[in-house]
Structure 1
Amino acid sequence: MPRALITGITGQDGGYLAEQLLADGADVHGLVHEQDEAAAAFASSYPSVSLHVGDLADGDRLRGLVGEIEPDELYNLAGISSVAFSWEHPVLTAELSGVAAAVLFQAAFRLQERTGRQVACVQASSSEIFGVARTFPQDESTPVRPVSPYGAAKAYAHHIAGVYRSKGLHVTSCILFNHESPRRPTTFVTRKITATAARIGADGSGVLRLGNLEARRDWGWAPDYVDAMVRAARHDVGGDFVIATGRTHTVAEFAEAALRHAGVGDAWRDHVEVDPELLRPMDTAEMVGDAGKARRELGWEPTVDFEEIVGRMVDHDVELLRKDA
């Protein structure tokens, strides 16, 4: 039975990953912050998962946990998750999303050297490392040139994964493009859209305020992307893998799909406004990934299309409104 350690286990991807690993019969451990309000609910939902309190900024604690748990698989999903937040806190973002990855890989390498057995690591990288890409779609050979503190921190973690791979650590960087589910917090624009659409659909009034409506993104289904990470951890060799659908939609199209699914119909435009305060200092106009390598080497394929993703999220928020009522 493999033993797995997941950082960021209470997040969207962490929960889906824990479920998949448990279904595989793994012994699952997770890192949680002492102030993580979701930890208690997570522990109640997944009593067989062992949770360990720690802080990504505490290198000694991270190294100690890896040495104590001795995982066969280490998934680093934790860090700052908001590009907007990274502009306000660039140093903290660098520390938690960048430097912490180096600490974990160092600890995994030391464990591997000490025990003589492989420790497979997966870094949850991001399409934001490509910044304003000059090639479309983006693949593993696309130059890394981030344009945000978030992207820069993820780029460091992506590069340090490659450094430790060259030293003999089985470490993979999964370059994840946007992936969504009903478990996204409402601080994310996609969940903000579906939650607001559900409310507008319920009473026929309200306004959805957004930033750049023309930003074009490659949106996938979160459980699919988690499956790709597990496949990468268990692949014969580590490497870089773009995980994406290869199809793009604008933020406006996401809003339209959500409002139409909520029953607003052609009147959806009347409920969408641009808020200048929500515009980012720098924003990549279009991100679309080529997951050909993941298809060929990991046997991975996305299973849920854009309309279905949006519909599932809206249905979830509609059900929440019904329960609250």
Structure 2
Amino acid sequence: MVQGIVQRLTSVCWPRSPYGVVTFFSYWATLNYRESYGLCASNGIMFNHESPRRGERLSLAKSRVQLQRSNIGCKRNCSSALSMQNEIGDMHPVCRSNVANFAAWRRRRYEQPAEVDLLVGDGSKAKKMLNWEPKVRFHELVRTMVDADMDLLSRETPREHLGKLP
């Protein structure tokens, strides 16, 4: 159960997938090591961080072979951050202020049993403390990922991508 539309550091955390549970564990492990051992350790909560390297099951890369429509209501923050560093360990949600409709990339076989239809984060702390804000627009991110996949497919033989077709 997601509490409110915009997720903040003060929001109640209720992970809705195994990935969410591991992410939540990572947050607490990092916090405990930072406080217990004085480590300079940080968490970056990436709201649908996307890149051409991300796996097909969890990302926009679902568009790799063909576009199919399902779960029309699914909307997410979509960001890309190459590298961020800070002198002080802390927690930083990294997300853009708008959401993208994933309808064209969603396929039923990839849906989580307890999927959240709208997931929006508050990235104001990352902007204030790290001077981070999204520089890549959603359509540019999609183009980058599709171009990377087209490049990958162009280097493979036709037989190699038979296994990649849905």
TM-score normalised by the shorter chain: which range applies? Answer: 0.7 to 0.9
* Matched residue, 1:298: 130
Separation in structure 1 between the aligned mates of residue 16 and residue 69 of structure 2, nearest angstrom = 21
The offset of 1:189, in angstroms, is 4.2
* Matched residue, 2:94: 243
One-letter code aligned to 1:240: M
For normalisation by structure 1, the TM-score amounts to: 0.43
Could you report, residue by residue, the CA deviation over 1:255-293 in whole angstroms, capped at 9, with x for unpaired residues?
4xxxxxxxxxxxxxxxx9x54x44421011111111111
One-letter code aligned to 2:134: P
Separation in structure 1 between the aligned mates of residue 60 and residue 142 of structure 2, nearest angstrom = 8
Q: Determine which structure has more spread, i.e. the larger CA radius of gyration.
A: 1
Q: List alignment gaps of at least 5 residues for structure 2.
A: 158-166
* Matched residue, 1:312: 144
| Residues 1:313 and 1:296: Cα distance change in structure 2 (over 3 Å) | same
Could you report, residue by residue, the CA deviation over 1:130-184 in whole angstroms, capped at 9, with x for unpaired residues?
xx42223212222212122322222122112222222222221211111112222
SS of the equivalent of 1:238 reads: coil
SS of the equivalent of 1:156 reads: helix
For normalisation by structure 2, the TM-score amounts to: 0.79
Q: Does 1:184 align with 2:40?
A: no
1:74-223 equivalences in 2 (<5 Å): 132-167=1-36, 168-193=38-63, 195-197=64-66, 208-209=67-68, 212-221=71-80
| Residues 1:239 and 1:189: Cα distance change in structure 2 (over 3 Å) | closer
Whether contact under 8 Å (1:220, 1:304) holds in the other structure is: yes
Separation in structure 1 between the aligned mates of residue 60 and residue 126 of structure 2, nearest angstrom = 25
Separation in structure 1 between the aligned mates of residue 147 and residue 110 of structure 2, nearest angstrom = 26
One-letter code aligned to 2:98: R
Separation in structure 2 between the aligned mates of residue 303 and residue 153 of structure 1, nearest angstrom = 28
Aligned-residue CA RMSD in angstroms? 2.4
| Residues 1:151 and 1:324: Cα distance change in structure 2 (over 3 Å) | closer
Identity of aligned residues (%): 29
